[in-house]
Structure 1
C-alpha cells in the first residue's frame, strides 16, 4: 500500500521540500555563494528599500484585509437570511470570484477606471472631476483591487461562523430582556471572534503573497515585497538570488505566523462549539 503513495512523496520532495531547503540555505550564503553569512538578513531588515517593501506589503495587506472582512461580515449575515436556493447561488458566485485575480483582474480595472477607462470617461462627462481624477495606478488603486479580490474569500470563510450562534441563545437573551445590540455585543461577537480573527489571518497571508495583480497594475512603481523578490531573482543586469531568498524567507515566516494564528483560533472556536 505504501508504494501507492510513492509518486506523491516524490512530487512533494521535488517541488516543495527541495526548493524550500535550497531557498533557506541560499539565504545564508554570501553574494558569490562561497560562504555563509547573516548579511543577507541584515540588508533585508536595515536597507530602506527593503524595509519599505516589507512595511508597504504589511500596510496594504492589513488595510485590505480589514476592509474586506468588514464587508464580508455584513454580506455573510445577509446571505444567512436568504432562501436555501438563493444562498447556494450566492456562495457559488463568491467561489467563482475567488479565482478572478491576477492579470485579468488588473486588466478589467484598467478598462473601467484607467486613464481612459469607461467609468473615468463617464465621470468626466458628467462633471464628477474628483471621481474622474482617481489614480488607479497608485497605492489607492492597488488597495481597491486587493479589497475586491479579498471579499469573496472572506465571505466564504466568514459565512459558516454565523451558524455557530445557536437560535436558543438568541431566544434566551430576548426572554431575559436583552436587546439585539446587547445580544451581539455580549454573546454573538465574542463567540464569533476567534473565527473572525482566524479569517483575518488568512486574508493577511493571502494579500501578502499576491504578486501578479500588483505587478500587472503598477509594475515596479510601487514597492512591495513580492515585487522586490521577483526583481532580485530575475534581475536583468545583476540578479541577487541570495538576497532574494532572504526576503522570501522573511515573507514565508510572516505568512506562516498568520497561518499558525488561524490554526490556534480554529482550535479555540472548536472548543466553544462553533
Structure 2
C-alpha cells in the first residue's frame, strides 16, 4: 500500500525544524546559562550577586548611565525620524529613495569605523568641534562624556528609526487631512487628534526597539572610550574578559538586570498600546 505523502502542515513543521534548532542553540541555551550562573555564587545558589549589584554604587551608576543614554538617544532619534518620515512622504521621488538607501547604509555603520569618524569630527581637536568653537557656538564639547555618547548613539538611532517608522505612514490617508482642513482643523489639530493616535502603536514599538538597540550597544562605545565609560555592556564584557578579574557569575547577574529592564520596558509598551487602542475605539 502506498504511503501517504506529507501534508502541507507536515512540510511546514519539517521546514521549521532548522529554525527551532538554531533558536534553541543560539538563543535559549545561552539565556539558560546566564540564568543559572546569575543565581550562582561562592556560597551556592541565591541572590548574593543581585544584592551586591544593588549595594554597589559602581554598578548602580552603570545601570543609570545605560538607561539615561538609551532613553535620551531613543527619544531624540525618534523625534527626528518622525519629522524625517513626514518630510519624505510629502517629497517622494528620487529624494525619498536616496534618503531611505542612505538610512539603510547608515543604520549598519557602527563599531570602530563610527567611533573613529566621530573622533575626527567631534573629538577634542575634531574638525567640527574646532569650527563651532571658532564661530562661538560652543565653548567646549567632550565627546567622551555622557552628553557626547548621547550624540553618538542618536546618530545610529535616527536611520533605524526612519526605516522602522516610514512604512507606518502608509496608514495615514491624504483625504483625512483634506477632510480635517475642510472642517476647519489646523495642522496641529490634525496631528493631535488623527495623525499621532494612528501612528501611536508604530511610535511606541519603534521607541522600544531603539531602547533595546541602545541598551545593548557595545562595540561603538568601547572603541570610543576603550571601556572607560561605565555602562552595563562594558561592565559585563569586562567581567567576562577578565581584564581585571574574571567573574562570569556577576556578569550573568548584570546581564539578567539588562534582560529585566528590557522586559519591564516591553510590559510598559504593551500597556500603553492597550490604552492607545482603547482611546482610539
Q: Shorter chain as normaliser: what TM range?
A: 0.7 to 0.9
Instruction: Report the TM-score when normalising by structure 2.
Output: 0.86
Who is 2:154 aligned against? 147
> Is structure 2 residue 50 aligned with structure 1 residue 41?
yes
**1:6-155 superposed matches below 5 A:** 6-31=17-42, 35-123=44-132, 127-128=134-135, 131=138, 133-155=140-162
| Greater shift in the superposed pair: 211-220 or 255-264 | 255-264
2:238 to 220, 223, 231: 231
Q: Relative to 1, partners in 2 of residues 1:9 and 1:196: Cα closer, same or farther, differing over 3 Å?
A: closer
> Is structure 2 residue 207 aligned with structure 1 residue 196?
no
CA displacement at 1:198 relative to structure 2: 1.6
Q: Relative to 1, partners in 2 of residues 1:175 and 1:9: Cα closer, same or farther, differing over 3 Å?
A: closer
| Greater shift in the superposed pair: 17-26 or 176-185 | 176-185
Instruction: Report the TM-score when normalising by structure 1.
Output: 0.88
CA displacement at 1:87 relative to structure 2: 1.7
Q: Relative to 1, partners in 2 of residues 1:187 and 1:94: Cα closer, same or farther, differing over 3 Å?
A: same
Q: Relative to 1, partners in 2 of residues 1:200 and 1:181: Cα closer, same or farther, differing over 3 Å?
A: same
State the SS of the aligned residue for 1:81.
helix
Name structure 1 gaps, 5 residues minimum. none
> Is structure 2 residue 258 aligned with structure 1 residue 247?
no
- CA distance in 1 between counterparts of 2:35 and 2:231 reads 21
CA displacement at 1:212 relative to structure 2: 0.8
CA RMSD for the aligned pairs? 2.6
- CA distance in 2 between counterparts of 1:149 and 1:181 reads 29
Q: Relative to 1, partners in 2 of residues 1:111 and 1:172: Cα closer, same or farther, differing over 3 Å?
A: same
Number of residue pairs matched by the alignment: 269
Q: Is the 8 A contact 2:65 2:146 kept in 1?
A: no
CA displacement at 1:256 relative to structure 2: 3.4
Q: Is the 8 A contact 1:195 1:269 kept in 2?
A: no
Name structure 2 gaps, 5 residues minimum. 1-10
